[in-house]
């Protein structure tokens, strides 16, 4: 197996120059760097990252805890993370918690054992990560959803503003019986979406009937269960804000089973936009989150945390809130009482 000496000899440079090229040091002249790269390729030489890690006490690897890799929302975030990590010479270890707090804890232990330089956390609703990590002054950034007690570095969407805008969209169409299927309320995004919804109703002078507030958990089954409760209500809502992609699929199943047409009988607006939102009938009105940008900015923030902590300063915690986009399609329309003002049972 070729060594660093073989590379230096073939490229006609010193060992130090080869080492600088491997470590991405900018001071190497491009002409020499090209010769070193050509020699490494010709000799099929790959630096020993484990040995290097022991020497510089950094592995150039970060860990990412994802609550559910099967959810396309997180796939978008992961793509943003990986692209930014790669452009800075970092490897990424993705761990799927599958919404299981025990698995999340096991994954955290694995990441520590692998001596990752830092971690990006999309937590389950058990807040394991926070308990494990914050005490250790370990470089970390939370993404998308954060435990209410966590005030460290994070990149999230403007969930409050998004829910407020979505609810105002219903109000603008003339809806007065507006309901919500919430996400997990022990996570910031679930709670902020509910509060944005409440604020829009309050500002429009519309009541929020208790039974029009159905508590879900972001997952499909809860969307179905909560959807049935809303649609079976003696005075069903004419509009439903559903706070995640998977719950919206569950809600659509409930509507299909009850033969309730959308948007004629009930308008629906779902959080998270995906290819299927354009391809279901009716095409779905959604709140689109900047998934890839969320992942990219979280990785950039983590790199700042890693650098500052390795330089012995804990540095300022940062929080970035990204704007969302309301994508209006065909699943939201004025309610029947607006389209056909004949007296209706209320």
* Sign of the Cα pseudo-torsion (65, 68, 69, 75, in order): negative
Binding to ligand RIB by CB under 6 A, coded x per residue (else -) over 176-215, reads -------------x--------------------------
Contacts (CB under 6 A) with ligand RIB, residues 106-145: 144-145
Nearer to ligand RIB, 41 or 325 (CB): 325
Shortest distance, position 6 Cβ to ligand RIB, whole Å: 49
Angle ∠(288,290,291) on CA atoms, nearest 5: 105
| DSSP structure class, residue 109 | H
Nearer to ligand RIB, 143 or 302 (CB): 143
Nearer to ligand RIB, 138 or 218 (CB): 218
H helices of 45-127, in order, are 49-56, 72-87, 101-113
| DSSP structure class, residue 284 | P
CA–CA distance, 226 with 231 (Å, rounded to integer) = 9
Note whether 255 and 223 are within 8 A (CB).
no
Nearer to ligand RIB, 84 or 272 (CB): 272
Shortest distance, position 72 Cβ to ligand RIB, whole Å: 8
Shortest distance, position 73 Cβ to ligand RIB, whole Å: 4
Strands of the sheet containing 178-182, edge to edge, are 213-215, 178-182, 239-242, 267-271, 285-288, 325-327
- Do the bridges between strand 154-157 and strand 213-215 make them parallel or antiparallel, or are there none, so unpaired? unpaired
For residue 329, give the 3-state DSSP assignment: coil
Note whether 164 and 330 are within 8 A (CB).
no
Strand partners, 288: 325
End-to-end CA gap in the chain? 80
CA–CA distance, 219 with 244 (Å, rounded to integer) = 8
Shortest distance, position 82 Cβ to ligand RIB, whole Å: 18
Shortest distance, position 96 Cβ to ligand RIB, whole Å: 14
Query: Does 324 interact with ligand RIB (rule: CB under 6 A)?
Result: no
- Per-residue DSSP letters for 174-238? T--SEEEEE--TTSHHHHHHHHHHHHHHHHTT----GGGEEE--SSHHHHHHHHHHHHTSSS--S
Contact residue for ligand RIB among 128, 245, 285, 297 (CB under 6 A): 245
Contact residue for ligand RIB among 158, 271, 277, 302 (CB under 6 A): 271
* Residue nearest ligand RIB (C-beta atom): 244
Shortest distance, position 316 Cβ to ligand RIB, whole Å: 25
Contacts (CB under 6 A) with ligand RIB, residues 28-87: 71, 73
Nearer to ligand RIB, 21 or 251 (CB): 251
Token representation of residue 118: 């830092």
For ligand RIB, how many residues bind (rule: CB under 6 A)? 11
- The candidate with the shortest Cα–Cα distance to 265, out of 274, 273, 254, 276, is 254
Shortest distance, position 35 Cβ to ligand RIB, whole Å: 48
Please count the other Cβ atoms lying within 10 Å of the Cβ belonging to residue 51.
8
Nearer to ligand RIB, 71 or 107 (CB): 71
Token representation of residue 216: 């879900």
Nearer to ligand RIB, 139 or 250 (CB): 250
Nearer to ligand RIB, 50 or 70 (CB): 70
Site of tokens 């600088």:
20
Contacts (CB under 6 A) with ligand RIB, residues 215-244: 218, 244
Name the residues that contact ligand RIB, by CB under 6 A.
Answer: 71, 73, 144-145, 189, 218, 244-246, 271-272
């Amino acid at each position: 197996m070729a060594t660093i000496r073989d590379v230096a000899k073939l490229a006609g440079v010193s060992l130090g120059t080869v080492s600088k090229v491997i470590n991405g040091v900018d001071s190497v002249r491009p002409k020499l760097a090209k010769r070193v790269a050509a020699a490494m390729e010709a000799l099929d030489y790959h630096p020993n990252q484990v040995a290097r890690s022991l020497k510089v006490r950094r592995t150039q690897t970060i860990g990412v805890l994802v609550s559910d890799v099967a959810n396309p929302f997180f796939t978008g975030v992961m793509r943003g993370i990986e692209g930014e990590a790669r452009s800075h010479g970092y490897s990424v270890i993705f761990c799927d918690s599958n919404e299981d707090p025990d698995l999340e804890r096991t994954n955290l232990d694995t990441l520590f054992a692998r001596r990752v330089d830092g971690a990006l956390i999309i937590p389950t609703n058990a807040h394991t990560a926070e308990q494990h990590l914050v005490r250790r002054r370990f470089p970390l950034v939370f993404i998308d959803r954060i435990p209410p007690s966590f005030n460290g570095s994070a990149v999230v969407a403007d969930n409050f503003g998004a829910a407020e805008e979505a609810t105002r969209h219903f109000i603008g169409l003339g809806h007065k019986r507006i309901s919500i299927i919430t996400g997990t309320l022990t996570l910031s995004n679930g709670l902020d979406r509910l509060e944005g919804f409440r604020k829009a109703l309050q500002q429009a002078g519309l009541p929020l009937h208790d039974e029009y507030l159905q508590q879900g958990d972001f997952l499909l089954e809860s969307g179905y269960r909560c959807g049935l409760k809303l649609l079976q209500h003696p005075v069903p809502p004419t509009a439903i804000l559903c706070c995640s992609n998977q719950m919206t699929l569950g809600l659509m199943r409930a509507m299909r089973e009850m033969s309730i047409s959308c948007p004629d009988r009930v308008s629906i607006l779902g959080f998270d936009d995906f290819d299927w939102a354009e391809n279901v009938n009716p095409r779905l009105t959604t709140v689109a989150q900047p998934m890839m940008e969320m992942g990219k900015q979280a990785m950039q923030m983590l790199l700042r945390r890693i650098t500052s902590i390795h330089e012995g300063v804990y540095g300022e915690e940062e929080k970035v809130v990204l704007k969302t986009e309301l994508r209006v399609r065909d699943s939201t329309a004025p309610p029947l009482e607006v389209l056909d003002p004949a007296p209706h049972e209320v």
